[in-house]
A and B are shown apart, each in its own frame.
Chain A
Amino acid sequence: MSFTYQAGTPFAGDGLKDVTTTIKDGSYTAIIGHTGSGKSTLLQHLNALLKPTAGTVTIGDRVITNETNNKNLKPIRREVGMVFQFAENQLFEQTVAKDIAFGPTNFGVPAEEAEKQAAAMVALVGLPPEVLEQSPFDLSGGQMRRVAIAGVLAMKPSVLVLDEPTAGLDPAGRAEMMTMFNRLHQEQGLTIVLVTHQMDDVADYADHVLVMDQGRLVKEGTPREIFQDADWLADHQLGLPKTAAMARRLTAQGFRFDPLPLTTAQLADQLLPQIGGPAHD
């Protein structure tokens, strides 16, 4: 699949070049790559906000090509919930409850039912019930982000696409939010596609990683496969998760790790026997 911005004008620029991949149902896929590598462009193809200039995108049993009519895309948009970068910019209603209910009502859920759901969504994203009747513009930036995410979750999508959902949040809020997404993935079997610059999040949660560079898909595999080659990552202006970076430095000091530890627990497990401590359980 390829995508060209402003095709047919002197401004034409390649967004994506010959990207071929499959995102499995129920997987947790991370897309990494430095700024301008085509991650966000790729994301917008996942719910037909952009249509490929060449090639096809298959979402469930719908095939999207250049010729696909703009009508009747709603079912796809409901299936694939999309949380954009700085999602708080999309808030507009008078109360938080109404804003959260906006998505579901657009997809035909009766207004009362949608506002009832909103209460559950607010709890899900970790906000107190009082905010429901407040104006979204009276909330803090972090709270607004949560409201926006609640608004997407309220549509009950089966795929959740997240474009740097934690950018600009404090560390505690970031951890909380990532845990919440992971819980949705584990408990409700939500397919998650996450674009991020946080390699730690990739290591902690993802089971599949796509690496983008200059509009091309340059590598694909499990986090372990991707983070194995630190030099290759550095060439593509990407880093390692903190644990892998630490393991690498310890390796230089004579420690041995196999396989490469990606989470703190894995690192501790492999490290303890080597420094003569008790086995970690």
Chain B
Amino acid sequence: MTKLLLGRYLPGDSWVHKLDPRTKLMASFYYIGIIFLANNWQTYLLMFMATMVMVAASKIKLGFFLRGVRPMIWLILFTVMLQVFFTKGGATYWSWGWLAITQYGLTNGAFIFMRFVLIIFVSTLLTLTTQPLSLADAVESLLKPLRVLHVPVTELALVLQIALRFVPTLMDQTTKIMNAQRARGVDFGSGNLFQQMKAVVPLLIPLFVDSFGIAEDLATAMDARGYQGGDGRTKYRVLQYHRKDIVAGMIMAGLTIALIFLKA
């Protein structure tokens, strides 16, 4: 359970940590968008340098980012292989029937690989430096304009916040139940596929029962404290943009200009 990096916040007080969560969220999406502008060595080098500067600014060890890439590595390699084998053009280095490794194929493969890694690095950076609840606040704040269209933004944000809040609780509960069933002789993650699927039942049923219990308790507790939801609620954590956030925005704008200037 502890290996799961998704949504893993690493406390810290770096420049990146202190940015407004809305800035980080928007910048991450923007960055992922402009990565698609890169199409030659210069632009990929630029994006790579920029990502490394951001990673350095977060004061988090590079190892954590590499660990984020690991679960995706087969998908990445598969995509890279497709690019390498099926892109035609330039000098041909090797061919067998309709498969061929060409100059363009190799460069495209390398570009796709870079693109994947950079996107994972940036999204890892976002989740490592931002508390999940701050992210939920940011989503709520950014979605606010949609209220005009009668989108229940506060309710959606509440659902998101509750879901995020209970991820660690459910993970703890999973560990506990797994231990209890292991003590009763269940081997998780061994045996054939059918045995493994069967082993999940004694884990999932107690988890379901427990989740419903938690949901009921939470609903009662919220009722007891007079929760009504709605738009008039004030916030305990008030989001506010600072000079850092303007700087971050300017960096993104600068990157975009440089990309457009350098791209082929």
Instruction: Show the binding face of A for B, using Cβ within 8 Å.
Output: 6, 9-11, 44, 47, 49, 71, 74, 77-78, 81-82, 84, 87, 89-92, 102-103, 106-107, 137, 151-152, 155
Can you give 24 contacting A-B residue pairs, CB < 8 Å? A9-B2, A10-B10, A11-B2, A47-B183, A49-B183, A78-B185, A82-B180, A84-B176, A84-B179, A84-B180, A89-B177, A89-B206, A90-B177, A90-B181, A90-B202, A91-B206, A92-B202, A92-B205, A92-B206, A103-B185, A106-B185, A106-B186, A107-B185, A151-B184
CB closest residue in chain B, given A71: B190
What separation, in Å, do the CA atoms of A259 and B11 have in the docked complex? 53
User: With contacts A9-B2, A84-B176 known, what are 19 further pairs, Cβ within 8 A?
Assistant: A10-B10, A11-B2, A44-B179, A49-B183, A74-B185, A77-B183, A77-B185, A82-B183, A84-B183, A89-B180, A89-B210, A90-B181, A90-B202, A90-B206, A92-B206, A92-B209, A102-B184, A103-B184, A152-B184
Judged by a CB distance under 8 angstroms, whether B182 is at the interface is: yes
* Residue numbers in B under 8 Å from A71 (CB-CB): 190
Judged by a CB distance under 8 angstroms, whether B148 is at the interface is: no
CB closest residue in chain B, given A9: B2
What separation, in Å, do the CA atoms of A74 and B187 have in the docked complex? 8
Judged by a CB distance under 8 angstroms, whether B6 is at the interface is: no
Q: Within the complex, which residue of B179, B183, B187 is in contact with A81, where a contact is CB–CB below 8 Å?
A: B183
* Residue numbers in B under 8 Å from A106 (CB-CB): 184-186
* Residue numbers in A under 8 Å from B182 (CB-CB): 49, 77
Expressed in whole angstroms, the minimum distance between the Cβ of B169 and any Cβ of chain A is: 13
What separation, in Å, do the CA atoms of A49 and B183 have in the docked complex? 8
Expressed in whole angstroms, the minimum distance between the Cβ of A195 and any Cβ of chain B is: 14
Report the 3 A-B pairs with minimum CB-CB distance, sorted nearest first.
Answer: A106-B185, A92-B205, A90-B180
* Residue numbers in B under 8 Å from A91 (CB-CB): 206
Expressed in whole angstroms, the minimum distance between the Cβ of B202 and any Cβ of chain A is: 5
CB closest residue in chain A, given B10: A10
Expressed in whole angstroms, the minimum distance between the Cβ of A192 and any Cβ of chain B is: 16
Q: Is the interface of B mostly helix, strand, loop or mixed?
A: helix
Judged by a CB distance under 8 angstroms, whether B247 is at the interface is: no
- Report whether B209 and A137 are in contact in the complex, using a CB–CB cutoff of 8 Å: yes
* Residue numbers in B under 8 Å from A103 (CB-CB): 184-185
- Interface set, chain B 174-231, CB cutoff 8 A to A: 176-177, 179-187, 190, 201-202, 205-206, 209-210
Expressed in whole angstroms, the minimum distance between the Cβ of B135 and any Cβ of chain A is: 20
What separation, in Å, do the CA atoms of A102 and B190 have in the docked complex? 18
Query: On chain B, which size bracket covers the interface?
Result: 20 to 34
CB closest residue in chain B, given A104: B185
CB closest residue in chain B, given A80: B183
CB closest residue in chain A, given B199: A106
* Residue numbers in B under 8 Å from A6 (CB-CB): 2
* Residue numbers in B under 8 Å from A49 (CB-CB): 179, 182-183
What separation, in Å, do the CA atoms of A151 and B202 have in the docked complex? 13
* Residue numbers in A under 8 Å from B185 (CB-CB): 74, 77-78, 103, 106-107, 155
Expressed in whole angstroms, the minimum distance between the Cβ of B264 and any Cβ of chain A is: 42
Q: Within the complex, which residue of B173, B177, B202, B210 is in contact with A102, where a contact is CB–CB below 8 Å?
A: B202
What separation, in Å, do the CA atoms of A152 and B185 have in the docked complex? 10
- Report whether B183 and A152 are in contact in the complex, using a CB–CB cutoff of 8 Å: yes
What separation, in Å, do the CA atoms of A155 and B176 have in the docked complex? 19
What separation, in Å, do the CA atoms of A155 and B185 have in the docked complex? 9
Expressed in whole angstroms, the minimum distance between the Cβ of B160 and any Cβ of chain A is: 24
| Residue of B180, B184, B186, B187 contacting most chain A CB atoms (<10 Å) | B184
| Residue of B176, B177, B183, B201 contacting most chain A CB atoms (<10 Å) | B183
**Residue interface bits B1-44, CB-to-A below 8 A is 1, else 0:** 01000000010000000000000000000000000000000000
* Residue numbers in A under 8 Å from B187 (CB-CB): 74
- Interface set, chain B 230-249, CB cutoff 8 A to A: none
* Residue numbers in A under 8 Å from B205 (CB-CB): 92
* Residue numbers in A under 8 Å from B2 (CB-CB): 6, 9, 11
* Residue numbers in A under 8 Å from B176 (CB-CB): 84, 89
Expressed in whole angstroms, the minimum distance between the Cβ of A265 and any Cβ of chain B is: 36
* Residue numbers in A under 8 Å from B179 (CB-CB): 44, 49, 82, 84
Expressed in whole angstroms, the minimum distance between the Cβ of B9 and any Cβ of chain A is: 11
Expressed in whole angstroms, the minimum distance between the Cβ of B234 and any Cβ of chain A is: 33
Expressed in whole angstroms, the minimum distance between the Cβ of B12 and any Cβ of chain A is: 9
* Residue numbers in B under 8 Å from A151 (CB-CB): 184
* Residue numbers in A under 8 Å from B186 (CB-CB): 106
What separation, in Å, do the CA atoms of A49 and B201 have in the docked complex? 20
Expressed in whole angstroms, the minimum distance between the Cβ of B68 and any Cβ of chain A is: 14
What separation, in Å, do the CA atoms of A108 and B8 have in the docked complex? 40
Expressed in whole angstroms, the minimum distance between the Cβ of B75 and any Cβ of chain A is: 25
CB closest residue in chain B, given A85: B176
* Residue numbers in B under 8 Å from A102 (CB-CB): 184, 202
